[in-house]
Structure 1
Amino acid sequence: MPAAEAAARRRSGPRRWARTARRGPLGRWGSRLLDGDPAAERAALLLLLGLTVLFTAMSVALPGSWPPSALVLPLVCGGLVLSTRRQLVLVAGVLAGSALSAAWHEPHGVRAGVTVVLALTALAGLATARFRNRLGLRGLRGDSMLLELSEHTRALGRLPDRLLDWHFDRALAPVGGNSFSGDFLLCADRPEQDLLEVVLVDVSGKGSRAAARSMHLSGAFAMLLGSVPPESFLPAANDYLVGLGWEDEFATAVHLALRPASGEYRLFNAGHPPPAHYRREDGGSWLLGGDGGPALGLLSGTPYPATRGRLALGDSLLLYSDGLVEVPGQDIGTGIGRLLAAAEPVLRVPHAAGGAAGGPAGRLLRAVARDVADDRSLVMVRRLGPPFAS
């Protein structure tokens, strides 16, 4: 017991020192600097200019033990915490110091190659700061805003864990393992109306441009979902996207309006791959949803007719994005057939528990489209019946 208490004290000692440091003047200044406080930035600029003078003097006085390339350190630190205007001041100081060192102590001062490296490092830092300023991000903690937006977008599509005899599972895999995706999911559960709505949207394009537009549309569409009748959601979303005037930009979407008590559903499709209804009876068969209307954002006033159906006990419904079924040079029907063939053994057995990554949707997504240069999304809606054999 005394040994355990001693170990606990040893562990708590560094934590106490860390808490004390954070609450002290230096810790408070560092916190303000990470938040982009202008006064803290001014102090940081003076500190980095002082380091530049010190490193320049040491590279001249001690050429054998202090490398001239140490001048890169102030530039790197400045690129992380300074605004573009203050970085320019720092860059001017570093380049002036390097030129003075080269002229004062040739051949042991800063060489031409080191000066080139310093200039390229400065350009990289300035480019990064310019991009962050365009985003309105100040300080290193500005990135947390983007992460919170990503988490908020994912929360908008959180499906019910369990609803009567229903099970819902989803898997979203952004291209390249990024945190942001051009696909997003929305969900609105209104049990008092016996209505569950699920919308899967795929914004055109790939990468950061599609992800930025996805985050824009997810908030706007989330406000629409549940505030208008199901048959009015896609027309309203289409008119909103047309009104934005995005040139050569559109989005596909599929909208499920489900009555959990009866299993009846309506599907509204806007240029999206057709949902697939798995019917367990008679050994299992697939029924693909209708085409619906064109993609969102192309033509104003477009109608989106409903496809109606009913999920019996043991039936399932798959909603998916084109990244899961499209292969360059192949007909999309081939990709859909590959997905359905892989999904049938999964849907023929009772539901097995698992998290978002380890659930049946995640396993199926990885099995069908593991390494694909596109965002991939899959939603499984299963009406659980009595256990049945595979």
Structure 2
Amino acid sequence: MSVTTTPEATTPPSGTASELGSITRSAEAARERTAVLEEQIVDNPGAYRVLTGDRPTGVLHLGHLIGTLDNRVRLQRLGVEVFLVVADYQVITDRDGAGDLPAVVREVLLDYLAAGIDPERTTIFTHSAVPALNQLLLPFLSLVTVAELERNPTVKAEAAAAAERGGRGMSGLLFTYPVHQAADILFCHGNLVPVGEDQLPHLEATRLVARRFNQRYSAAQPYFPEPDALIAPSTTVLGNDGAKMSKSRGNALALRASEDNTVAFFKRARTDAERTITYEPELRPEIANLLRIGAHFAGTTPEALADELGPAGAGRLKAVVTEAVVEGLRPLRARRRELASAGPSHLDEVLARGNARANEIADRTLDDVRGLMGMRY
């Protein structure tokens, strides 16, 4: 999330110079705030509750692990309470059917548990199993305007994509996506959301909903927190075609992939014609991507790995990265196979416990909201 999960049809922010300048300033402020928050989390992890999650559109891949999963495990180990939503309703924001959701959800659960998510410390739940969460959408929708929804980056990108396709228009579910996200975060009073800088406008929509609800219905004592962004420490992971790693593009390395598939994946990875290995993300994005992946698993920095390889060339870089990923993923893959061999009953139990806890909290929040709005009969 990622926040919950942004549909993959998003594009980089676009707009006027004033809008882009505002986005840049917001990102700078969020980075500064994140540095402060990281210190506070170490000192008092119990003061924070994190909401994050994924759309169950397929098994998770290397980009998920580096971009979000490892950070979730880190926060969990620090003692932060984490809520992890498997956003099944979000699957149908931009498609006509959900497919075999139970099977996909179990695969995602396997990836979570194998990566180190502990269901005793992290609440894992599905959208569709928590009715009170989704019922919060009605009062929340009254707090935003159509114009504000239209300005949301995800909504703007999907509107442009729909116009370009000339076929299926944007669904009402996708149009109201920012408000769904607000409900996801606020139902559990989440006050910290790990996001990339490109997702800051999504979180600002949640902050807006919380602020307006408090102003209208709970001015004396604000009920909802305005959640802070925790800027993710890693950047976008590219697939072996040089584009953002994505299930829908077919350029991703699944966490469950075999070691042979991993070797083949990196053999096909794009590089460039320069022999000397340097870490220059703007000038050499494919090389920089491989260096970041290798450094992540080797416990070093991309700059240090580049200095170590120097004139060795792209072939050697691929070999080093492949070895680091194979070794780094070996425990995760072994744990995943062990969990899968035990059958679905354990996974179903994990989800049932998480759904029960999420329902308990959502029911209480919805009851509070009704009371504050004068609608408790």
Give yes or no for TM over 0.5: no
- Name the one with the larger helix percent: 2
Q: Which has the higher contact order (CA 8 A, sep 6+)?
A: 2
Task: State the TM-score, normalizing by the size of structure 1.
Answer: 0.22
Higher strand share: 1
Return the index of the structure with the highest Cα Rg.
1
